[in-house]
Amino acid sequence: MKKILCFACAVLMMVLCFAGCGEKASVSASKALADPDAAKGAEITFTVGFDAEFPPYGYLDTETNEYTGFDLVLAEEVCKRNGWTLVKKPINWDLKDSELEAGTIDCIWNGFTMNGREEEYTFSSPYVDNSQVVVVRKADKINALKDLAGKSVEVQKESSAEAALTSTEDNEKNLALAKTFKELKSVADYNTALMDLESGICDAVAMDIGVAQYKVAANDKLMMLSETVATEQYAVGFKKGNTALCDKVEETLKAMVADGTFAKIAEEWELSDCVCLK
Amino acid sequence: MKLVEIKDLKKSFNGVPVLRNISLTVEEGQTVSVIGPSGGGKSTLLRCATMLEKVDGGSIAYDGKYMVKTDEDGNAVYAPKAELKGICSTFGLVFQNFNLFPHFSVLQNLTDAPIHVLKMPKEEAEAQALELLDKMGLKNRADAYPGELSGGQQQRVSIARALALRPKVLFFDEPTSALDPELTGEILKVIKQLAAEKMTMVIITHEMAFARDVSDHVIFMDGGIIVEEGDPKDVIENPQNARTKEFLSRVQSTI
Amino acid sequence: MESVLEFFKNLWNLLVQLSPSMLTTIEIFLLTLVLSLPLGLLVAVCRMSKWKPLSWLTRIYISIMRGTPLMLQLFVVCYGPYYMFEIPLTGEWPFIAAIIAFAINYAAYFAEIYRGGIESTPLGQYEAAQVLGYSKGQTFFRIVLPQVVKKILPATTNEVITLVKDTSLVYALAIVEMFTRAKMIAAAQTSMLPYLAAGIFYYAFNYLVAFLMERAEKKLGYYQIK
C-alpha cells in the first residue's frame, strides 16, 4: 500500500515537473553552451545532481526544509554570475551516471571525489582537498611511507587519518602500512600529536592536508611527505567531454576565488582548512 | 666526691634574667631538694643542667668533667660533641609529664635507649628492664602501653626508663605535680627507696614534708638566686630568710 | 532473566577486555606511591629546615604543586624538557614523565601531611629522647616517625584514594590506561557499559585500598597518642 502511494506521488511530481517545463521555454546550460542560438531568449537552467545526505556539501536543512550545503551555495553563486537558474536535483547516487548521460543533470557537484574517476568524467580543478598526509621531522630522513617502518606514528582520535589507517573496509594497503609501524597511537588532538613529533615522542603524524600545510609552513623543523596515506580531492564532475560547461564553471569559480567570495563561503561552512582552489 | 658542680650559672630569656649566678654542688649519694615559688628558676636550672637549655655563662661539671664552662671573653663554651655524649650519660631526667614513648610498650620504653644508645645486648637490656620494673612494682605491666597505665604507673615507668641508662645522678622535675594527690605517694615511695640506696638525686618538689624527710640538703630558690640552703630541717622548719619564711607559710597553709 | 544474564556476561567480558590496561593503571598507582611517599618525607624535612632558603624553596615548590592542575604539570614535565631545554625525547618518555609528574605532585601533598604530623609531635618527646642520648636521626626515625605514621594514616588514605582516580589523567599524554581504554571501547560500541566496568574497577580498587589502610590503622591502634 505504502509503495503504491509513493509511486503515485512520484508520478504526480513528474507530471507537475514536466508541466512546469512546458510552460516556459527553458534550456539546460550544457545545451546552451553547445548551441548558443537555441538558447536565445530561453531561460538557462543549471541542474546540479547531488546526494542529499552528504553534509556539509549537500543536504536537506530540516529547519527550512530546503536543500543547502557548501557545494550548493557555490553553485548558486556560479549561476548568479552567469545568469543561470539553479536547479537542485537530489539524485539516487547509484544512478548518477545515467542522469549525466541522459542530460537530466548538468553536473555532479556534491563532495564528489575525483581520484580514481578521472577517466570517467570531465572534472573541474579540485576545490576541496581531504587528503591524509604524513608529517615528519626534516632531520629524520623519512622520505616515503615505507620509511615509516618501525616508527611511532600518531593520529588524532576519531580523525579521518585514524580512519584511513585503521578502517577494515577495503583498506588493505593502509592496514599493511600501519602494520609496519612500531605503534599507531591516537591522541586527543593534532596539536598534541605535533608536539610529540617535534619533541621526539613520536616520529610521524598522519593528518588532514589542510592543517598539515598550515602547520608545516609555520614550523621549519617539520615537513610533509609527498606520498599520501589517502588521496581525496573533490571536484565538480561533468559528463565526459563536456569541457565547455566545465571550463565555464571553473572560470566562474576562479573569479570567485579572485574576489574572495569563495573563501568567504568556505569560511561560512567551516571548510577553510581544506579548500584548495587557487 | 663532687658529682655535680655548678658555678655562677647565668641564663636569661629575651633579656630577662632567670638564673643569676647560681652555684651548687651535689656530692655522690646525696639527695638534694630544690624548693621555691613558680618562676623562681628551679626548672630552668634543671633544664640547663640537662642541656635542654643552653646557658649564657658559668660552668657545669659532672664527675669532674666540664660540660660547659666560660672562656675569658665571657662566652659559654660546651665540650666537644664526642666528649659531650659521655658527659651527658652521667645524668638522667624524670619529667613532670613523664614523656614516655607511646608507641613503645613499657618494656621497650626501658630497653630501646640501652640497646640503641648504649649498644647493650638485647637480652641484657631486657633482663635489666624487668629487674627495674620489679623494683617499681610493675613487672606484670611490661607488655602494656603507656596509654593503658595510670599516671602514677607511668611516672614509675619513666623513672625506670631513666635508671635503665645507669646514670650517676638523676634529676626530677616536679615528678608528682601532674599526678592526682592520691597517686603522689607511690612516686615518693620509689624516690625514698632510691635515696635509701644512695642514688644521687636532685629533686624539684612542692612536697615540703617529703623534702624535709628524704633529702640531705635543701635549696630554696626565688628570683633566679639561691636564697637559702642547708640542712632540710633547718631550712624548712626554721627558715632564716624572710622570703623563705613567707613562701613556706604560704605553702604550708594550703596543705 | 536471560537479559540479566547477558548483561553480566557482557560486563564480565568488558572487565576481561580492560584487564591489560588495568595493569597500566595499577603500575602508575604503585610507582607513584613508592616514589612519592619517601620523597614527601624529604620535602617535609626540607620544608621544616631551619635554613631559610631551603625552607622557602620547598614552600614555593609545594605551593606550585598544589596550586596548579595536575594535568598542566603532566604537560610541563612531558614537553618541558624539549621545549625549554631542547632535549630530544623518545616514545617511552611520556610514561616516565607521567610517573615523575605524579610523584612530585603527590610528594607535595604528602609532605604537608607529614609536616602536620611531625609538628604536632609534643616537644616532650624530643626532650625525652635527647636526655636519653638518642641522636637526631634516631629521634626522628625511632621516636617521631612511628607516631607520625599513625597520626597521618587517615589523611594519607584520602590522598591515596584520590591518586587511584587521578591515574586516568595520563590520557593527556596518550598513555592508554584503563579509563582511556574504556572510553575507546565505549566509542566503538556506542555503549555505556564500558564506563560501568571502569567504575566497578575503580570502586573495587579503592575498596581494597581503604580496606588495607583500615587494617594498617587497626594494626597501629595498639597504642594511643595523647
What are the residues of chain A with a beta carbon less than 8 Å away from any beta carbon of chain C?
A: 152, 154, 158, 182-183, 185-188, 192, 195-196, 198-202
Q: How many domains does chain C have?
A: 1
Which residues constitute the domain of residue A210?
131-231
- Domain membership of residue A277 (yes or no) is no
Q: SS3 for C41?
A: helix
pLDDT for position A37: 78
Q: What is the mean pLDDT of chain C?
A: 90
Please check whether residues A92 and A148 belong to one and the same domain: no
Q: Residue A110: which CATH number? A: 3.40.190.10
Confidence of residue B62 (pLDDT cuts 50, 70, 90): very high
Structural domain count, chain A: 2
Angle between helices C178-189 and C193-219 (to 10 degrees): 160
| Chain A neighbors (3+ CB pairs < 8 Å) | C
Report CA torsion sign: A128, A133, A137, A141.
negative
Cβ-Cβ contacts under 8 Å, A198 against chain C: 82
Indicate the residue of C82, C171, C174 with minimum beta-carbon distance to A200.
C82
CB atoms C131 and B92 under 8 Å: yes
Domains of chain B: 1-90+184-255 (3.40.50.300), 98-166 (no CATH)
Burial C213-222 (b: 16+ CB within 10 A, else e): beeeeeebee
- Residue C81 with chain A: CB contacts under 8 Å: 199
Q: Report the b/e string of A54-73 with b at 16+ CB within 10 A.
A: eeebbbeeeeeeebbbbbbb
Q: Could you tell me if A189 and A260 lie in one domain?
A: no
- Give C133's contacts in chain B (Cβ within 8 Å): 85, 88-89, 113, 117-118, 165
Contact between B226 and B8 under an 8 Å Cβ cutoff? The reply is no
Distances (CA, A) of A58 to A50, A75, A76, A84: 7, 11, 12, 19
The closest of A211, A67, A52, A40 to A135, measured between CA atoms, is: A211
How many angstroms separate the CA atoms of C21 and C205, rounded? 14
Which of C132, C150, C223 has its CB closest to that of B117?
Answer: C132
Specify whether A168 is located in the same domain as A250: no
Average pLDDT score over residue span A148-171: 86
CA of A267 vs chain C CAs: smallest distance (Å): 30
Whether the CB-CB separation of A153 and A184 falls below 8 Å is answered with yes
Contact C132 B100 (CB under 8 A): no
Query: Hey, which of A229-233, B3-7, B210-214 has the most confident mean pLDDT?
Result: B3-7
Are residue A142 and residue A74 in the same domain, yes or no?
Answer: no
* Mean local confidence (pLDDT), A33-55: 83
- pLDDT band at residue B255 under the 50/70/90 scheme: very low
Which domain CATH number covers C138?
1.10.3720.10
pLDDT tens figures, B192-243 = 999 999 999 999 998 888 899 899 999 999 999 999 999 999 899 888 999 9
Mean pLDDT across the stretch B14-22? 92
> Which residue ranges of chain C lie beneath pLDDT 50?
none
Asked if A101 and A182 sit in the same domain, the reply is: no
CB of C91 within 8 Å of a chain A CB? The answer is yes
* Residue C102 near residue C29, CB atoms below 8 Å: no
Q: Is the pLDDT of residue B253 over 70?
A: no
Domain extent at residue C116? 2-222
Which of A148, A199, A202, A219 should be substituted to probe chain C, the one whose Cβ sees the most C Cβ atoms within 10 Å? A199
Alpha carbon distance A253, C53 (integer Å): 69
Q: What is the 3-state secondary structure (H, E, C) of A79-117?
A: HHHHCCEEEEEECCHHHHHHHHHHCCCCEECCCCECCCC
Distance CA B209, CA B233 (A): 10
Q: Are residues A46 and A110 in the same domain?
A: yes
Given a cut of 50, whether residue A21 has pLDDT beyond it is: no
